[in-house]
């Protein structure tokens, strides 16, 4: 039987892609941001999209808009905005975005799926947010068996980044007897892969004049790819009705990838970058030169237009005196080469930095899917 899933706070679809690869049908995605929902729609053309503020939505509206009925929903997944909880932010208890964490669990209670997965920053477990967590989880604690929050580092699952996040997971009490523990989620993890390995085949000499979307499509050398499963995820494993057909055709038939945008650096900046050791931070730009045999630091999203439109600090390539391209960032976050982002560099980095690694998402959701198939019903 088809297992339907809804992605709340869907962004461009890191969680959605993991769900689709795990065998779920992503029937709905809810996202407020114009650029993010447009990108999600391009990569998930068969998914129904709702562009509304989740704070104002009810389960009744969602069922009506997505044309599904209560009882046929397998899962609800999502990553509520984390800026109010993030160590990179002010950790403001009064940040209005904190309320959206509560809204995720409110909607889970109303939608009554078989399970839910909510992703957030590690700061959410800070004692100062215990009342926010308690209030949010109170919506679901009577209906769901709740696992203890699970802390997951992406590099432990085969994505070449140390991005670490907390996952809240629950199963319907009246339908399933949960038998999962934290260790079970590692059974679908991929072999660890380093920055140098992850960026194989991508162009290293990036022209600073490649600023337009048309210029960002550049050839790659698939012969450089390793035998690791990571590269199989880059090339293929494209679920039915997922992906932009034209972009997939360019990738599969012409070996072209998007997102190879250039960045103009002055000669002075390039000289500074060349002198940096691997892992060393540039004192002026605060960018860190990547370690080829290590993992990428957590990629940040920067701020939206309401917060000044600041671009996040980007890592420096380990061989070239420049910051990384959006496509390199996508590789390091675990996205496949055929997945497309916004045509501009600024929005692409925001979209990637805001995303859950699809590699992590797939491992978690495959484990849940296996559990739903094998666990004893009550």
Scanning the chain, the segments in alpha helix (DSSP H) are 14-21, 34-43, 59-66, 98-111, 130-137, 195-198, 229-235, 245-254, 267-275, 326-333, 345-353, 358-374
CA 104 to CA 118: how far, in whole Å? 8
Q: What is the chain's percent helix, strand, coil content, to nearest 5? A: 35, 15, 50
* Rama region for 208: left / alpha / beta (φ>0; ψ in -120 to 50; rest): alpha
CA 128 to CA 93: how far, in whole Å? 8
Instruction: Give catalytic status of residue 82 as yes or no.
Output: yes
Closest CA to 78 of 18, 22, 23: 18
Pair of tokens at residue 181: 């523990």
Q: Are 249 and 337 in contact (CB under 8 A)?
A: no
Catalytic option among 82, 252, 260, 296 = 82
CA 63 to CA 73: how far, in whole Å? 10
CA 73 to CA 70: how far, in whole Å? 7
Residue 1 buriedness (CB in 10 A; 0-12 / 13-18 / 19+): exposed
CA 117 to CA 258: how far, in whole Å? 30
| Burial track 118-139 (b if 16+ CB lie within 10 A, e otherwise) | bbbbbbbeeeebeebbeebbeb
Q: What is the dihedral of CA 124, 128, 130, 133, to 10 degrees?
A: -40
User: Which residues are marked as active site?
Assistant: 82
């Amino acid at each position: 039987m088809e297992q339907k899933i809804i992605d709340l706070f869907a962004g461009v679809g890191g969680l959605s892609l993991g769900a689709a690869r795990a065998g779920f049908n992503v029937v709905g995605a809810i996202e407020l941001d114009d650029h993010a929902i447009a990108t999600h729609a391009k990569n998930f053309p068969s998914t129904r999209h709702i562009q509304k503020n989740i704070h104002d939505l009810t389960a009744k509206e969602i069922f009506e808009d997505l044309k599904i009925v209560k009882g046929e929903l397998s899962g609800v997944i999502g990553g509520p905005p984390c800026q109010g909880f993030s160590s990179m932010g002010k950790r403001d208890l009064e940040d209005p975005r904190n309320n959206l964490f509560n809204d995720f669990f409110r909607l889970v209670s109303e939608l009554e799926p078989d399970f839910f997965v909510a992703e957030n920053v590690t700061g959410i477990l800070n004692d100062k947010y215990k009342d926010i967590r308690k209030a949010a989880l109170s919506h679901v604690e009577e209906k769901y068996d709740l696992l203890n929050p699970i802390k997951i580092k992406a590099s432990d699952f085969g994505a070449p980044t140390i991005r670490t996040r907390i996952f809240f997971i629950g199963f319907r009490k009246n339908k399933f007897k949960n038998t999962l523990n934290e260790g079970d989620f590692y059974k679908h993890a991929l072999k660890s892969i380093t920055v140098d390995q992850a960026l194989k085949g991508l162009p290293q000499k990036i022209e600073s004049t490649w600023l337009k979307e048309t210029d960002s499509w550049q050839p790659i050398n698939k012969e450089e790819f390793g035998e690791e499963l990571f590269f199989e995820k880059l090339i293929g494993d494209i679920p039915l009705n997922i992906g932009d057909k034209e972009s997939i055709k360019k990738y599969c038939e012409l070996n072209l990838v998007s997102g190879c945008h250039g960045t103009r650096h002055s000669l002075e900046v390039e000289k500074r970058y060349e002198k940096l050791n691997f892992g060393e931070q540039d004192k002026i730009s605060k960018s860190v030169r990547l370690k080829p045999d290590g993992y990428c630091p957590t990629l940040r999203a920067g701020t939206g237009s309401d917060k000044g439109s600041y671009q996040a600090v980007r890592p420096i390539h380990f061989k070239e005196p420049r910051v990384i391209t959006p496509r390199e960032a996508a590789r390091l976050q675990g996205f496949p080469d055929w997945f497309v982002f916004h045509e501009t560099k600024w929005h692409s980095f925001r979209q990637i930095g805001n995303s859950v690694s699809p590699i992590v998402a797939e491992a978690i959701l495959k484990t849940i899917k296996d559990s739903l198939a094998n666990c004893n019903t009550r």
